[in-house]
Amino acid sequence: MKKELIRVIVTGGAGFIGSHLIDGLLNLGCEIIVLDNFSTGRKENIVHVKNKIKIVECDLSIKGGWIEEFNNIDWVFHLSSLADIVPSIQNPEGYFCSNVDATFYVLEAARLANVKRFIYSASSSCYGIPDTYPTPEAADIKPQYPYALAKRMGEELVEHWAQLYNLPAISLRFFNVYGTRSRTSGTYGAVFGVFLAQKLSNKPYTVVGDGNQTRDFTYVTDIVGALITAAESNKVNKIYNVGSDTTVSINKIVYLLGGDKVNIPKRPGEPDCTYADISKIKDDLGWMPSISIEEGVEKILEDIDYWKEATVWNPDSISEATEDWFKYLDK
Ligand code: UDP
C-alpha cells in the first residue's frame, strides 16, 4: 500500500533546530514548506535541501499571505522564535512580537486549516532556578527574563488553543540543545557557539564561575527525534520535557573540547544545574535520547569550520555585552 504523503510546515526552518528537522522530515518522505523571516535563520542552513522544499520568506508576527500556505497541511512544527537572554532584556518588544504574537497568528492559521498535529518548541528556561532535580514538567514556572517569559506565554497560547479549540497540540520543553549549525547571530549566546569560536582562534574558553555548574546538553538530532515522535503520536494537549537524561559540567565540556580556560564572573539569575526529568515523554511516547555528550562533541568538532566567522568572545567583551544582564538580574 502506498504511504500517504504528509504535508508539513516548519516555521523557523532555516534556524538551527529547524534545519535539522527538515533533514529528518525529508528522510520520512514529507512535503515541506518553510516559513522564515531569515532574521536569525540562515539560508546556508538549508541550501543543501533548497530544491526539495518550498521556502516562504515572511513575518509571522503580522497577518499575511503566508496564512494560505496552511491549506492542506497535516503537521505544523512551530519553531521560529528569537533566542538569547541579553538581547531579550535589551529589546523585549522584538521578543514579544516574534515569540508571542507570531505564535498567536500561527495557531490561528493552524486552527482554521484544521491541521492534524501542532508541535511547539517550548523552553526549559520556564523553570528559572528549579527547586527539584531532575526537574519534572509539574515544577514551578519561574521565567527570569523576557526570552523565557515570551516562550512560556507562547506555550500558554498553545495549551489554550488545544483546550478550547481541540487543536491537536503538543509542547516540547527543550533543554540546552547543541549540535552543528548552532551558531548564534553575533550576540553573546549559547555556550557551544562561544567555545567553538574561541577554539578556532586558539583563545581560552571563558568559563563562567568555577565551571562546576552543569547543563542537560541535548544533541540536536535527539531533539528532531522527539519532534517527529510527538507528531506521529496521538497524544494531545500535553507538555513534555526533552533532555539527555543526564547533566554535564562546563569543565567536562572544556575537557572534551581540549584547550585552556579562563574563569569569568558567575552570572546572576542562572541555575547551577539544568536536568530534565524525562520519564513522562519516555512513558507516553516511548522516546529516548541516544547521543552521549562524548559523541555529540565529536560530531560538532567535525563541523567546527561552521563557526569560522563567528564572534570570538573574551572576558572584556563578555563583561561589556552582559552589563544589562548583571544590572537587572543581580538582585
Ligand atoms: N557558560 C560558560 N561560558 C560562556 C557561556 C556560558 O561557562 O562563555 C556556561 C553557563 O554558565 C552555563 C552553561 O555554560 O552554565 C550554558 O550556558 P548557555 O548560555 O549556553 O545556556 P543556559 O545558561 O541558558 O542554560
Ligand 1 mean position to 122 CA, how many Å?
Answer: 19
Ligand 1 mean position to 66 CA, how many Å?
Answer: 36
Separation in Å, CA 4 to CA 22, 63, 120, 203, 228: 18, 31, 24, 52, 16
Rounded mean pLDDT, 137-164: 97
- Supply the residue whose CA is at minimum distance from atom 11 of ligand 1: 208
pLDDT band at 182 (very low <50, low <70, confident <90, very high): confident
pLDDT band at 235 (very low <50, low <70, confident <90, very high): very high
pLDDT at 269: 85
Comparison of pLDDT for 326 and 110, the residue scoring more: 110
Q: What percentage of the chain reaches a pLDDT higher than 90?
A: 91
23 has a pLDDT exceeding 80:
yes
pLDDT at 37: 97
pLDDT band at 238 (very low <50, low <70, confident <90, very high): very high
Ligand 1 mean position to 86 CA, how many Å?
Answer: 12
3-state secondary structure string, the chain?
A: CCCCCCEEEEECCCCHHHHHHHHHHHHCCCEEEEEECCCCCCHHHCHHHCCCCEEEECCCCCCCHHHHHHCCCCEEEECCCCCCCHHHHHCHHHHHHHHHHHHHHHHHHHHHCCCCEEEEEEEHHHHCCCCCCCECCCCCCCCCCHHHHHHHHHHHHHHHHHHHHCCCEEEEEECCEECCCCCCCCCCCCHHHHHHHHHHCCCCEEEECCCCCEECCEEHHHHHHHHHHHHHCCCCCEEEEECCCCCEEHHHHHHHHCCCEEEECCCCCCCCECCECCHHHHHHHCCCCCCCHHHHHHHHHHCHHHHCCCCCCCHHHHHHHCHHHHHHHCC
Q: CA 188, CA 120: separation in Å to the nearest integer?
A: 25
- Supply the residue whose CA is at minimum distance from atom 18 of ligand 1: 190
Q: What pTM was estimated for this model as a whole?
A: 0.97
CB crowding 109-120: b at 16 or more within 10 Å, else e: bbbebebebbbb
40 has a pLDDT exceeding 70:
yes
pLDDT at 330: 81
Rounded mean pLDDT, 197-213: 97
pLDDT at 1: 58
188 has a pLDDT exceeding 80:
yes
pLDDT band at 98 (very low <50, low <70, confident <90, very high): very high
2 has a pLDDT exceeding 70:
no
pLDDT band at 121 (very low <50, low <70, confident <90, very high): very high
15 has a pLDDT exceeding 70:
yes
147 classed as catalytic = yes
Rounded mean pLDDT, 289-313: 95
pLDDT at 4: 87
The overall average pLDDT reported for the chain is 96
Residue among 126, 145, 215, 253 whose CB has most ligand 1 atoms within 8 A, to mutate: 215
- Supply the residue whose CA is at minimum distance from atom 4 of ligand 1: 191
Rounded mean pLDDT, 23-27: 98
Q: CA 29, CA 231: separation in Å to the nearest integer?
A: 14
